[in-house]
Amino acid sequence: MTLQGASDISRIAGASDAFNQFVSDTRFFLRDFPELNRLVAGFESSDRFIAFATIDALSDFNSTPPLLGRFGFTDFVQHDWIYLLRIGAVLNVLTSVGILQTRNHLPFSDGGINVAVSDKTPLLQSWIQLLTHRWETGKTRIKIARNIEQLLGGEGGVASEYFDIHGYYAEIY
């Protein structure tokens, strides 16, 4: 079986070729293709939603301390942090799907037979927990490395609270 569309590049108006390729690759990572979606007609997540999830991941990265400046998609490409960005985007997609599953959860029973519609929330939560750990660990590692790089390179960076304490005592003596 070949995945029709697996090699297709998404086309989001106004987005760069690299960003469109990222969206397409993220869809490939998610295996979100009509041929594989047995319970969903077509794609589960649109290209625009994957793009939104990616932008949301960038916002989360930029708002996580230490605040070392603003990093955009091209910064992630240049520093080869694409894997981490994909994890952040997929985490956002799965969180949204989990919210939808929870909202549409409908258990019912008839004649001793129990059936539940949209009961994938626990499964999604386990994937979300795994990816959250990867995302948060990756963000922390990059932020620490980037902060040290900036401090040693004379670009500034964010000093620890020990610097403030040491600086205070250094002025007294």
pLDDT number for residue 45: 86
HSE of 4, CA atoms in CB hemisphere, 13 A:
5
pLDDT number for residue 160: 62
Average pLDDT over residues 121-136: 92
In a domain, 4, yes or no: no
Take residue 113 and report the two structure tokens written for it.
């037979």
Whether the CB-CB separation of 15 and 9 falls below 8 Å is answered with no
In a domain, 85, yes or no: yes
Distance between CA 153 and CA 146 in Å, rounded? 10
Confidence label for 157 from pLDDT (cuts 50, 70 and 90): low
In a domain, 12, yes or no: no
Q: Count other C-beta atoms under 10 Å from residue 116's C-beta.
A: 11
Average pLDDT over residues 111-139: 87
Instruction: Examine the pLDDT at 4 and tell me if it is beyond 90.
Output: no
pLDDT number for residue 166: 58
In a domain, 67, yes or no: yes
In a domain, 7, yes or no: no
pLDDT number for residue 173: 46
Predicted model pTM: 0.78
The model's pLDDT over 8-37, given as tens digits with 9 standing for 90+, comes to: 566 888 889 999 999 999 999 998 887 876
In a domain, 5, yes or no: no
Confidence label for 117 from pLDDT (cuts 50, 70 and 90): low
Distance between CA 159 and CA 153 in Å, rounded? 13
Q: Which domain holds residue 149?
A: 17-172
Average pLDDT over residues 76-83: 96
Q: Are strands 106-110 and 113-117 parallel, antiparallel or unpaired?
A: antiparallel
The tally of domains found in the chain comes to 1
In a domain, 3, yes or no: no
In a domain, 100, yes or no: yes
Greatest mean pLDDT range, 100-104, 106-110, 158-162: 100-104
